[in-house]
Amino acid sequence: MPEEKYMRRAIELAKKGSGHVNPNPLVGAVIVRDGEIIGEGYHECYGQLHAERNAIANAKKRGNSLEGSTIYVTLEPCCHYGKTPPCTEAIIEEKIARVVVGSDDPNPLVSGKGFQMLREKGIEVIPHFLKEECDAMNHVFFHYIRTGIPYVAMKYAMTMDGKIACYTGDSKWVTGEESRAHVQTLRNHYKGIMAGIGTVLADDPMLNCRIEGGRDPIRIIADSHLRIPMDSQLVRTAGQQPLIIACLPDADEEKAAQLQEKGVEVLRIPGVTTADITEEQKEVISLPVLMKELGARKIDGILLEGGGQLNESALQAGIVDRIYCYIAPKIFGGAQAKTPVEGQGLTRAADAWQFKRIGMQEFGQDILLEYEKAQELQ
């Protein structure tokens, strides 16, 4: 079906904006007349022109008239003034006759109003075309616009026997090069990346994006007592790549001041009491409160690259929306070897955190299983 071809091209274009448009959605547009593509474009960067206006400009640059054409766009055209003028105005001005749309825009400033404005001008609107595919690429945006808090995706790599490291702590490498390269695309896609202080002390990571032309994520470290070393890679590069450290309200003020001098943003977050595997009570930062603070800073999505303790805390707090589980064809063995989710664990199988599988990919000899929180738990 030709129309599917045009919308799939719009989806392909939209994905080119990954890592550059947050907290805006990924949007692509293709303009067709007499069975030929006469213009195309996508939302390239936050604050710049939207996909429809880029496609219109592209058509004009090619010397094409848009009157009577059809535009295929992955998301409902905006109808309000923000950082850019409304796309509905441009569609009307150029006398485009037909608009085929994938996703509804949940933004209250747009939702349904874009369709209404176009129809009032006699433009045919076909909504929900390849809706499922269009919706899938904007799961982060939809969640953020509805809740105001980041979409959290947990990522871990494990062996066939469910280990993320040997009992010695050695974990280089669990998966192959292809899987590790794919992780870099996730770091580019999500605006924030989060790890716990245990990971920082063990690995001294940079948590940057190693894709040429990619975007480095905002780094977020859960460090209740500000144990992060001043000479860590994270602190030393805080002036070049943003670093947020979340700690408890009573964390060392002198250490906090030293970190701030290095360009680190220190967030004091209320604590919650939890029990570790020895059932000893301890106070850790409240992850739901932290998510609200990060959402207020326009961080719409977070890739959680923590160890087993932070993963367990995130699941207990109910903030995990998606899981990327890489499985390597290896076995480490050992009851003391680290697992993706540490802590005390649940007491009843009936209380298990429920997810549904939404995708599976192969990277060399590794497998990536992708899960989303089960609908009844959202």
- 307 in a known ligand binding site: yes
139-186 pLDDT, tens per residue? 999 999 999 999 999 999 999 999 999 999 888 899 999 999 999 999
- 187 in a known ligand binding site: yes
- 186 in a known ligand binding site: no
- 210 in a known ligand binding site: yes
Q: What is the pLDDT of residue 344?
A: 86
Question: In the chain, what are the domain boundaries?
Answer: 2-141, 149-377
- 342 in a known ligand binding site: no
CATH number of 149-377: 3.40.430.10
CATH number of 2-141: 3.40.140.10
Q: What is the pLDDT of residue 376?
A: 56
- 180 in a known ligand binding site: no
Q: What is the pLDDT of residue 109?
A: 72
Average pLDDT over the chain, rounded to an integer: 93
Considering the candidates 52, 76, 94, 342, report the single residue annotated as catalytic.
52
pLDDT value at 77 more than 70: yes
User: Does 178 qualify as catalytic in the annotation?
Assistant: no
214-270 pLDDT, tens per residue? 899 999 999 999 999 999 999 999 999 999 999 999 999 999 999 999 999 999 999
Q: What is the pLDDT of residue 156?
A: 98
- 353 in a known ligand binding site: no
269-312 pLDDT, tens per residue? 999 877 655 455 678 999 999 999 999 999 999 999 989 999 99
- 198 in a known ligand binding site: no
- Diameter of the chain measured on Cα atoms: 72
Neighbouring CB atoms inside 10 A of 167's CB total 13
- 50 in a known ligand binding site: yes
83-140 pLDDT, tens per residue? 777 899 999 999 999 999 999 988 877 777 888 889 999 999 999 999 999 999 999 9
Q: What is the pLDDT of residue 111?
A: 77
312-361 pLDDT, tens per residue? 999 999 999 999 999 999 999 999 999 999 988 999 999 999 999 999 99
Q: What is the pLDDT of residue 167?
A: 93
